[in-house]
Structure 1
Amino acid sequence: MQLIPCPHCGPREETEFHYGAAAGVEYPAQPQTLDDDEWADYLFFRPNPKGALAERWCHSAGCRRWFTITRDTLTYRFTGTPVAAPVSTSAPGPRR
């Protein structure tokens, strides 16, 4: 079992976490203007680099917080120091 270092709880088993996405992927500025092909490119087609990659992870079975950490895609080892996501102080807006 691999241990993933949570910045809030310390090292925990990988089964407690869920992968989010590659870090730094910007949401489209005007999503309503994207056609189906552009949405497919945004959602499914990403570079798949060999080596270090910053990723977003959620400690879903623990503190339930998101953080960014670097993982080596060749060895699956987490190589960076986890960076906690900023805590939002604003309430979420209404759902539409």
Structure 2
Amino acid sequence: MRAAVTLDVSGDDLGIPYLTKPMLDLWVHALHGPDPFLVVGRIDDDLQFIQTYRNAPDDFTVEYRAGADADIVSTTVDTPGAVVEAIWDWIQEKAR
């Protein structure tokens, strides 16, 4: 399955028309350098997004926002796989 979302990796809007789970997995595992973050957004609502920041090799912050009046919800996870699952679950929920 593929999802129509926006994707920003380390400050670069990649401009890709869709995202698949294997593509997401590659991007999350590749996060490194001075700005190791990834943001996935809704095409039709730029106030809804989920993002991750790689704090250390085994420490990621994952945050999401459900809209203009929503608070940003944050958690930490310890593996790239957990980040991929959280982001993909968010994408799938929004697609329903």
Q: TM-score, normalised by structure 1?
A: 0.28
Mark the structure with the bigger radius of gyration. Answer: 1
> Which structure has greater strand proportion?
2
